[in-house]
Structure 1
Amino acid sequence: MRSRHLFSRFAQYVSLNILGMLGLSCYILADTFFVAKALGAFGLAALNFSISIYSLIHGAGLLLGVGGATRYRIHTAQKNIEMGRRGYGTTVKIGALAGGAFLLLGLLGTSGLARLLGADASTLPLTVTYLRTIFVFAPFFILNNILLAFVRNDGNPALAMKAMLFGSFSNILLDYLLMFPLNLGMFGAAFATGLAPILSIIVMVLHLRRSPGLRGSLNLAPQWKLLPDFLDLGMSSFILEISSAAVLMVTNRVILKISGNFGVAAYGIVANLALVGMALFAGLAQGVQPLVSSAHGKKQNEEIRKLQRYAVASALLLSFVLFGIVLGYRESIVEAFNGQGNAVVGQMAEEGLLLYFLGFFLVGYNILEATFASATENTQEAFRISLLRGFLFILPLILLLGRFYGMKGVWLSFILTEALVLLLTAEGKLRHRQSQKRGLVLGSSPVDETWNGG
């Protein structure tokens, strides 16, 4: 009975969060579709240059939201409600300060940043327009991510899903209205994306006012000493997001030398479609995180192991579904986002989709490794996995393989990165098990590290 109840809760949290994250990923996917139709390859290239900054802002919200909400869930599982309330209030106020910093950066000027990201004379005006608008809405992006994490960890994953979906579907509708009937071009795309988190926040307000654990917490004095703990717990989520920004910037630079703006446009199609796949795995990870943190707070190690098995099986199923869709429909998918029917862009994007999505058979497991480690306060392991995936392997591989194998090398760098991370993580867990067995043979009592022990 207990196992069935646990699986039921797992299915509820994960399915709701995957649906929400799927909707959230449509922020950029809708922009990609409508920008391709309205502005063609140069618009796609400009959007792709800008996405790295969106990822940076989004990552800042995840860093604070996931970190603060994870500690909140552990506190509430241990009946320490007052510390949970103070943590929530502190997280929101720090998020507001971070959003203000991004807003100031946008007001000071974005032309230099756009050039640094790779924009040239053909794409600079479009890139600057998108960046400047996104920076203005940065406080809302960050606050939305914080509130989504706390609402989910406060036992209301259904509302978090509804908020994400409402914001995302509103974005799609606004994208169309602003870019076509109103003919606002790139500004319309960015403005629609910026309004989406505001609408999402409105959906969550009622829960925030009624929740005993969250209501009135913003009136408490912020506890700045809590910040390092929140950053520690949220770091793996931040690195996951910020690394995508770094990879995007480096890859754009490499591709510009290989295939010019058409190559960047093709990569933009693949990367933005891959965001949907990554969002599904992130939804799985973020959905199971509250359950893992709660079980960890109550020291229910067997439940954590069961949740691990459920999550890994779900990740494998998602991988088969995603790759099957790409294998069967990649031509139609690329055609939908290749707005002006550019044959060069289409050919590169089709090959990229097939190779890139092969990596999803590995990426889900690696994301879950980092998430479980963070949710059980094993932050060093979470940081190590995220750092290996996000920077230490993939950036050198893109530079190396791109130089020798062109666009094919760029696509293959993602697969090779995930394979190397999985092998190193598995080897580390094997060594941990062996050290535990040696400890038992010698009569010592090894420290229980549920996730590392796997």
Structure 2
Amino acid sequence: MKTSLLKDFSKYVSLNVLGMLGLSCYILADTYFTSARLGTSGLAALNIAISIYSVIHATGLMLGIGGATKYSIFQSQDHPSQANRIFTTTVLLGLAFGTAFVLIGITASSSIAWLLGARGTILEMTATYLKTILCFAPCFLLNQIFLAFVRNDHAPRLAMTGMIVGSLSNIVLDYLFMFPLNMGIFGAAFATGLAPIISMLTLSRHRIAKKNHFHFQKINFSFFNAVSLLGLGSSAFINEISSGIVLIVFNLLILQAAGNTGVAAYGIVANLALVALAIFTGIAQGVQPLVSRLYGRGKSQESHTILRYSILVSLFLGVLLYLAVFFFTEPLVSIFNSENDPVLADLAFEGLRVYFIGFLFVGVSIVSSAYLAATERPRPSFAISIVRGAVAILILAVTLSSLWGIHGIWLAFPSAELITVLLSILLIRPAIGKKACE
């Protein structure tokens, strides 16, 4: 049985880590091409705007993972009608949230850019990127929903393919729109907005091949089902939106401490951090279908085994990731420093080496939170996520920046992650012990 579990774990996790790495390259490609074409100002504008993309992405994850978790549990219990009702409810919620984002983008992009700290020429570029991304929000949300349901419908390879195809198309379109067509920062945002559409076209193979078990079903909208799936997806939402919260707070603090060059330096750190975070999010998304399926069938010991595998892999990858960043800091910074700005290089160099210490701990917290949500324990899952994504990082960023300036800002992330991993250990142990006694 353990051999079979390890095989399933390896398959789902490896495919989803690769897929999430591909998905994270949406913004990384924008960062590279924007820095190459528009320099420090473009990089600063993009870094300010990315926080709103994180909100959209977090909402998609909340809907997708929350809905797919309920779907997988119902399917494992042989309740297909209830599973289809959850799928339909999830899509309707995605359309509702997407419409709200579009309206915000049309009416308030400039105001949001100003509130996020953009000024002067950076204000116009930030507002352009925000408006474009927000108008494509329904596509981002639906793509996340379909990715999660396809993954939970025994097709993790297709989900990975959809993510990677979308990401590769974004890279190609970024180059095309920003260089030959000279469309500026709008081109970067437009390329990113088209990527989820291409991803969904790839995922449509699941339906065309008649392999899908989820279908639209006429429903009377259930407020209880909506709240239930949003609750199960809340930890994924907080885990992802924490990137946006950190971006907003850090940008405002760094603007005071080091100006636009400091924001551009943080742009390098933050975008590489998004890629690193995608690895651990991929592990969490990979184990979710397995844990939910085992939970639905009452196989608690097997789900604990999956949790142990996840934690061990997260710790190993955290060490490997930090060593890679430590030994290759200078070349990583130079990729995004097209103007060879020495101040930018020094700030980003220190930032990467200090900030990435947090990735020694982050995997354990994200996996623990995902496990609790996948076994219908939203409260402790949410507690881990809210401490990690908001409470600890906000308090530490403000406190440490007042003591040590930008050096304290870099230190805030690893300090918050250390606190969160200690909380995760406290909350996950009783949940495992209780299940083991049942």
Q: TM-score, normalised by structure 2?
A: 0.97
1:22/1:156 CA distance change after superposition, 3 Å: same
In the TM superposition, what is the alpha-carbon distance from 1:212 to its structure 2 partner?
4.8
1:405-431 superposed Cα distances (whole Å, 9 cap, x missing partner) = 111111111111111112233244567
Query: Corresponding residue for 2:264?
Result: 265
1:429/1:175 CA distance change after superposition, 3 Å: closer
Query: Corresponding residue for 1:36?
Result: 35
Q: Which runs of 5+ in 1 are unaligned?
A: 437-447
Query: Corresponding residue for 1:213?
Result: 213
1:41/1:4 CA distance change after superposition, 3 Å: same
**Equivalent position amino acid for 2:108 in 1:** G
Query: Corresponding residue for 2:76?
Result: 77
Query: Corresponding residue for 1:142?
Result: 141
In the TM superposition, what is the alpha-carbon distance from 1:219 to its structure 2 partner?
5.0
**Equivalent position amino acid for 2:77 in 1:** Q
**Equivalent position amino acid for 1:361 in 2:** L
Question: Which aligned segments of 4 or more residues in structure 1 are displaced greater than 2 angstroms?
Answer: 218-225, 424-433
Matched-pair contact (CA < 8 Å) for 1:93–1:222: no
Query: Corresponding residue for 2:184?
Result: 185
CA distance in 1, matches of 2:95, 2:431: 41
**Equivalent position amino acid for 1:163 in 2:** G
Query: Corresponding residue for 1:441?
Result: none
CA distance in 2, matches of 1:344, 1:218: 58
Matched-pair contact (CA < 8 Å) for 1:359–1:418: yes
1:2-60 superposed Cα distances (whole Å, 9 cap, x missing partner) = 11111000000000000000000000000110111011111111001101110111111
In the TM superposition, what is the alpha-carbon distance from 1:225 to its structure 2 partner?
3.3
1:21 paired with 2:7, answer no
CA distance in 2, matches of 1:352, 1:18: 25
Matched-pair contact (CA < 8 Å) for 1:86–1:223: no
1:255-283 superposed Cα distances (whole Å, 9 cap, x missing partner) = 00000000000001000000000000000
1:62-101 alignment, distance < 5 Å: 62-101=61-100
1:355-397 superposed Cα distances (whole Å, 9 cap, x missing partner) = 1111111000010110001001111100000011011111011
Q: SS of the residue aligned with 2:78?
A: coil
CA distance in 2, matches of 1:220, 1:374: 25
Query: Corresponding residue for 1:154?
Result: 153
Q: SS of the residue aligned with 1:393?
A: helix
**Equivalent position amino acid for 2:8 in 1:** R
1:359-370 alignment, distance < 5 Å: 359-370=358-369
Q: SS of the residue aligned with 2:361?
A: helix
Matched-pair contact (CA < 8 Å) for 1:208–1:214: no
CA distance in 2, matches of 1:146, 1:218: 16
Query: Corresponding residue for 1:415?
Result: 414
Matched-pair contact (CA < 8 Å) for 1:334–1:349: yes
1:338-417 alignment, distance < 5 Å: 338-417=337-416
CA distance in 1, matches of 2:169, 2:260: 30
Determine what percentage of the aligned residue pairs are the same residue: 47
CA distance in 2, matches of 1:301, 1:184: 54
Q: TM-score, normalised by structure 1?
A: 0.93
Query: Corresponding residue for 1:439?
Result: none
1:419/1:140 CA distance change after superposition, 3 Å: same
Query: Corresponding residue for 1:442?
Result: none
CA distance in 1, matches of 2:298, 2:13: 22
Query: Corresponding residue for 2:291?
Result: 292
1:449 paired with 2:427, answer no
Q: SS of the residue aligned with 1:190?
A: helix
1:285-308 superposed Cα distances (whole Å, 9 cap, x missing partner) = 100110000111111111011101
**Equivalent position amino acid for 2:114 in 1:** R
CA distance in 1, matches of 2:183, 2:73: 46
Q: Which runs of 5+ in 2 are unaligned?
A: none
Number of aligned residue pairs: give it. 436
CA distance in 2, matches of 1:173, 1:430: 46
CA distance in 2, matches of 1:249, 1:208: 39
CA distance in 2, matches of 1:104, 1:429: 40
Query: Corresponding residue for 2:241?
Result: 242
Matched-pair contact (CA < 8 Å) for 1:134–1:190: yes
In the TM superposition, what is the alpha-carbon distance from 1:317 to its structure 2 partner?
1.8
In the TM superposition, what is the alpha-carbon distance from 1:220 to its structure 2 partner?
4.9
